Structure 1
Amino acid sequence: MKRLVVKIGSNILADEKEGLNTKRIFSIASDIAELKDEGYEVVIVSSGAVAAGMRKLGLKHKPRDIKLKQAAAAVGQSSLMWAYERSFGEFHATVAQVLLTREDFSDRKRYINSKNTLLELLSYGVVPIVNENDTVATEEIKFGDNDNLAALVSVLVEADRLVILSDVEGLYTEDPRFNPRAELISFVEEITVDIERRSGRAGSSVGTGGMYSKVLAAKKAVSHCIAVNVINGKKKGLIRAILSGKQHGTFFKPAPCRLSHRKGWIAYNSRSKGTLVLDEGAVKALTGMGKSLLPSGIISVEGEFELGDAVNCTDLKGGRIAKGIINYSSSDLRKIMGKKTSEIEKVLGYKYSDEAIHRDNLVLL
């Protein structure tokens, strides 16, 4: 059975003046119901709560104040879920509301619990409707977007494909709103710096993500061997069309190798509590030889952290090269950095491990 994550943005579901577009929600529900009948498991990552709440509160423009955004999200979430409930009900499909915050991904236990809940819902044929818990998650409203959430959910449920519904056809050589000669990029072999540059940074008036955030989301997903499509979400039938092999929008080719789920969690979900600056020998050992990080290769320790926290590793120029789970607290690490493993117990009075970060808990970036 194939598993699919469909991300639907605010600009697809809602209008700044009119609020929720219930006809479009019904159209999307119709498409997804057909996919379910064909054997697909589908998770929806949906924006639209804030946009729906704007109309109910009589707001003419997207609020910038965090508290007002939270209020709009609280008011709009019920309308959004009712629209999904009613639309999917027409096709005898059951939906479930799942609200997540970044902590549900950064905390390992909550991450596993979220995964188990979503997989259990899918096993019962339910369509989970995932959204960020905007009402309480101030940081997510201010800095997050649902493109990123969709990529994280895709990894969480081990999806085969992520489909991002956009208000444009896909990724272009330039912004088509300003250059009518811009050409659609139908296939992306690898997400390079040039691809990121072409995607720009601007978002919509009712959403937080533009094409740039979609490309960054695709970058995360493809690194886990998940295929990604960015297509026009205002055109009915395109999801089925791309799944049958037809070309629409932009296809991002998945990487050939999949990170283990633990390393994927370390790379993209764990929150870094500090930074280790490494000497040239340590950088070479990690990047070229697949070795663990020893205290002897650490030049300096930045930040405060405890055993089991995630930390970044940088070279002498500040370039991030790796991220991993540390075996010593920052205070202990400052005492043993630059020293041989044989000296650890003498300095600290104990030795938890020869390695500062074991290679099994280390991900190259």
Structure 2
Amino acid sequence: MSKLQDLSAAGTAVWLDFVDRKFLASGGLKKLADEDGLTGVTSNPTIFEKAMGHGDAYDESLARFDRDNPDKPTIDRYEAQAVEDIRAAADILRPVYDRLDARDGYVSLEVRPTIADDTDATIAEAQKLWRAVDKPNLMIKIPGTDAGAPAISATIAAGINVNVTLLFSLAAYQKVAQAYATGLEERVRQGQPIDKIASVASFFVSRIDGKIDKKIDALGTDEAKALRGAVAIANAKAAYAWFQEFSASERWQALVAKGARPQRLLWASTGVKDKAYAKTLYVDSLIGPDTVNTMPPETMDAFRDTGTVAPTLTQDVDGAHHVLAQAERLGLDLGEVTDTLVEEGVMSFAKSFEDLLGAIAKKQPAHAE
């Protein structure tokens, strides 16, 4: 088996944080599923901006859409391309979904980041995208903002799988985990089945160290430097410890009795930002049951070559809490960092989305001869 297959066997599912039409058409995704045990794909506005906004891979499809749908707005042209890619990826992973009885094999498509603070608009768009893709192994990505939490509950209650994105803090994660439970409870109240509903909570990692390490470097003390590259992993371990506690709670066990499946923690932003760190740092350190690691291609390649598989998520949890306590004592203010990262994440995705629409607009009409 490859090391990525070993990672899956240890309980951490392997997902790819990348989608591109040429990659799908050339068999790249199928190869990863067949040879490395890959079981999922995530996308976001930045990924689509790089895929659609540059080169000519989408020109033919855009031209066809333009001919069939003259004078449609740019947002519709984008959604048609995104839906086509996500449907193709979902079809490639459908055998995985069927083999695992809906426990995995998912492809994620995000609602527009420009509506992250609008609950009703998020619910409506989640339903629209769900109908457009029309694949059972789709997950709709919804940001874990204050407005996102009730949207998550409503979307789950409607029978739609959800990938909660842009989670950085334990408090935000706890809120969306409870929102998932609320959605399942509402579905049970309506007499609807919950045994095939799936969700992941995307907990971002490397971006935290990117911010915290700068504060550590500014302090410059040996005590502070000892925390370099450790705070994000400690934060993730604290989230996983809470996941285990919540999984054992009376509330969750009542849902398990009805067929509920866990909302797995998904480690996102796992490519290292600091070249001083091992390329596999945020994979090696976060391995445990009922988790997912979504990796950019370069991180996946690095883990295949040099990764280490061990049950690291449950190792030295007391040490993780000590790291977080030290960070607080030194005034690194993890809470402020995570709040800032949520705001920056929404803004960054919104900018990528606007850039994407701008690039597509320049292609109109695309080869509309």
TM-score normalised by structure 1 residue count: 0.31
More helix by share: 2
Q: Which has the higher contact order (CA 8 A, sep 6+)?
A: 2
Structure with larger Rg: 1
More strand by share: 1
